Structure 1
Amino acid sequence: MAVRHRLTSVETVREDGSWLFTVRDQHGTNEEVILVPCADDGDPVEAWINRCTHEEQRLHRDGVGAVIREGQIVCPKHGSMFDTCSGYCDNGEAAETTLVSVEIAVEDGQVYLTDGSVSFLSEGASSDDGDDDTPGSTSHLQF
């Protein structure tokens, strides 16, 4: 059975727009995960690996967070938009793909990591990649 780890509150995710944390997967690789508010009637928050399905592009960036418009996470490089609730993209370079999910549970307004295939490492970004988080944008969208 997976060890539950309290991450944050639903209120914090809604207020901040997104919330970032780092896990280690079963292969020993550090992965960033974003929590985003979900407007569907189901879970109020969803968790996705912090990476566009088209390229190795972070969706949540330090100092900015994840750009969310009308219930969709916007890739800062190409402008592909992923549904916050399903992770599915139906447009742009990432069309017909779905973000990789991470299992969480929400109880009494608190968000818990419950995915048995990862281990919680820290709140915030992974510090071992040397990336400056600056996308080389080719998108027609303006932020």
Structure 2
Amino acid sequence: MQTVTVANPVLLLAHLDQLADGAVVETDATIDGDSESVILHRAGETIRAWLNVCPHAGRRLDWAPGKFLFDKQGHLVCAVHGATFELRAGECIAGPCRGASLRAIEIDVRDGAVYLRT
């Protein structure tokens, strides 16, 4: 799995009360000098973050900003070509990029909020 290292030490992505258990939300962040769409996923006390970019064709996963598709098992589905991603590690389990993974973003959870990792 590729990981993106973020230089900005204090960028707030979301407050934990904005992330219900099982939620997938989209937020924007400046990463390596570029404005990027970021996906946050909460599973209990675990928060994961990825770039909102499908490894198949480099397009956003959402069909509209912050609007995502899911299959019956709760896997994230790319709105463009149907690549299907499990949300534990962001791995594509079906579709045109099977075996590839979403690009993870390093985060810190502290003081009731999610921040880009320093």
Asked if Structure 1 and Structure 2 have the same fold, meaning a TM-score greater than 0.5 normalized by the shorter chain, the answer is yes
Equivalent position of 1:13 in the other structure: 19
* Identity across the alignment (%): 28
Unmatched runs of 5 consecutive residues or more in structure 2: 1-6
Partner Cα distance (2:93, 2:35) in 1 = 28
Q: Which moved more, 1:85-94 or 1:71-80?
A: 71-80
Unmatched runs of 5 consecutive residues or more in structure 1: 117-143
Equivalent position of 1:22 in the other structure: 28
Distance 1:38 1:7, change over 3 A: same
Following superposition, the deviation at residue 87 of structure 1 comes to 0.7
Partner Cα distance (1:15, 1:37) in 2 = 5
Following superposition, the deviation at residue 2 of structure 1 comes to 5.1
Partner Cα distance (1:68, 1:38) in 2 = 15
Partner Cα distance (1:61, 1:45) in 2 = 22
Q: Which moved more, 1:102-111 or 1:8-17?
A: 8-17
Distance 1:98 1:18, change over 3 A: same
Look up the SS of the partner of 2:20 in the other structure. Answer: helix
**Paired residue for 1:3, among 1, 9, 13?**
9
Partner Cα distance (1:63, 1:6) in 2 = 19
- AA in 2 matched with 1:37: R
Equivalent position of 2:101 in the other structure: 98
User: Which of the two has higher C-alpha Rg?
Assistant: 1
CA contact (8 A) 1:17 1:68 kept: no
Q: Kindly tell me the number of residue pairs found equivalent between the two proteins.
A: 111
Partner Cα distance (1:22, 1:35) in 2 = 10
Show CA shifts across 1:57-115 (max 9, x none): 2113436522234342111122211111201112110101000011112235421221x
CA contact (8 A) 2:63 2:80 kept: no
Query: TM-score normalised to the size of structure 1?
Result: 0.63
Following superposition, the deviation at residue 5 of structure 1 comes to 2.7
Q: CA RMSD in A?
A: 2.6
Q: How does 1:1-143 map to 2 (within 5 A)?
A: 3-14=9-20, 17-26=23-32, 28-38=33-43, 44-62=46-64, 65-69=67-71, 70-114=73-117, 116=118
Partner Cα distance (1:11, 1:66) in 2 = 20
Where is the helix percentage greater, Structure 1 or Structure 2?
1
